[in-house]
Amino acid sequence: MTMNYNIIYDGNCNLCVTWVQLLENLDKGNLFRYIPMQDQQTLQEFGITPQDCELGVILINANAPEQRWQGSAAAEEIGRILPFGSVFVDAYRALPGVKWTGDRIYEQVRDNRYTLFGKRSSTYHSVYCAENNCKF
């Protein structure tokens, strides 16, 4: 069985959308599908609330939806899943103090993303959307 994952991201955040577009270019929809956190109808199907989304990006294993990661843990897991990514994630996790610092930086960027990187005038919808949230 092929592993597939849903990434819930802020479709109005310039940084988040740039990151999703980078993943789209690397993955070409092979592993990841994307759902903007603004798609409340689709998020309800996963039992995800707007308050849940405030804690950052969410990664859901599409084959086992109870398996989820959020925030910096989701970013690390996405990195680990990418080809050769586990080498970098394992090194990052092994360096003393780096993960703790990375988690704090993630929280600051998450909480100040619109101020730091700007807000889009319209929500970005990936061409590699999850089945139920395709807007094309």
Give the tens place of pLDDT for each residue, 70-105.
999 999 999 999 988 888 888 888 899 999 999 999
Residues of the chain by 3-state class (helix, strand, coil), percent to 5: 50, 15, 35
Q: What is the mean pLDDT of residues 126-136?
A: 75
How far, in whole angstroms, is CA 32 from its chain's centroid?
10
In the prediction, which pLDDT does 4 show? 92
In the prediction, which pLDDT does 130 show? 79
Q: What is the mean pLDDT of residues 1-17?
A: 91
In the prediction, which pLDDT does 93 show? 86
In the prediction, which pLDDT does 135 show? 63
DSSP run (H or E) holding 8: strand 5-9
In the prediction, which pLDDT does 24 show? 95
**Beta strands of the chain (E only): which ranges?**
5-9, 32-36, 58-61, 68-70
In the prediction, which pLDDT does 3 show? 72
Beta bridge partners of 33: 6
The residue whose two tokens read 């479709």 is 11
pLDDT, tens digit (0-9, with 9 covering 90-100), for 12-30: 999 999 999 999 999 999 9
DSSP run (H or E) holding 128: none
Residue 108 has pLDDT above 90, yes or no: yes
Q: How confident is the model at residue 133 (pLDDT cuts 50, 70, 90)?
A: low
